[in-house]
Amino acid sequence: MSEVDPNELPWRVLLLGGPSGVGKTSVSYALARRFNVGICEIDDLHIVAKQITTPAQQPVLHRWDTDANAQNLSAERIVELHIAVCRVMSASIQAVVSNHVETNTPIVLEGDYVLPEVLPTIASPVAGVFLYEPDENQILRNFAQREPVAGEQAKRAHVSWLFGRWLREECARYGAIALEPRPWKTLLDRVIEAIGGVAHG
């Protein structure tokens, strides 16, 4: 595989979103290696945001830690709360994106806190791709393979499937790219093709 010059890329920030359990992290690290750029998991930004705020300041961010009944909510309500957290996180994501655009430092930002609605609010050159898995049972199998001792994952898989379905609709609304992760062996190349990236090797 030949080296990719980050200065040749048509983007400075690549946002890779999607629900949990669809393969975002695996392909994001493969993209970072292919393009020879840095990577940041937005989960880390979420951890920092919770660390430097209180439940009184950001009740949405702290909901899962302060509400003992949160896990008993319906899958639909959990998705609604997750979307609310995503919207709180959008300002931080926008700030990181703006910094990398201004400093001309390419990076891949990956995580399930990215929403298609953030794309029109940030400066170019930024690319965005969202993964969604149409088969709920496949998400369940992915969770079981990744965390085999975690117990019953059906509700968690249903939440991810619902969020993925919503994301696909939002991608259509905002003109963002939505891709199915399978077949796995072609996902990296399909993402690269979708964003118009430079793919050597």
Residues 96-122 have pLDDT tens digits of 999 999 999 999 999 999 999 999 988
Q: Quickly name the fold that domain 6-195 has.
A: Rossmann fold (3.40.50)
Q: Which residue has the higher pLDDT, 106 or 150?
A: 106
- According to DSSP, the residues that pair with 177 across neighbouring strands are 129
DSSP state, residue 94? H
Mean pLDDT of the chain: 92
Q: Which residues of 158-191 are buried (b: 16+ CB within 10 A; e: fewer)?
A: bbbbbbbbbbbebbeeeebbbbbbeeeeebbebb
Q: What is the mean pLDDT of residues 153-172?
A: 96
pLDDT of residue 176 exceeding 70: yes
Model confidence, pTM:
0.92
pLDDT at 141: 93
Q: What is the mean pLDDT of residues 69-73?
A: 89
Q: Which of 66, 96, 102, 103 is nearest to 81 (CA)?
A: 66
pLDDT tens track for 177-195: 999 999 999 999 999 999 9
List, in order, residues 6 or more apart from 174 with CB less than 8 Å away. Answer: 116, 117, 119, 120
- According to DSSP, the residues that pair with 40 across neighbouring strands are 109
- Dihedral of alpha carbons 171, 163, 108, 178, sign: negative
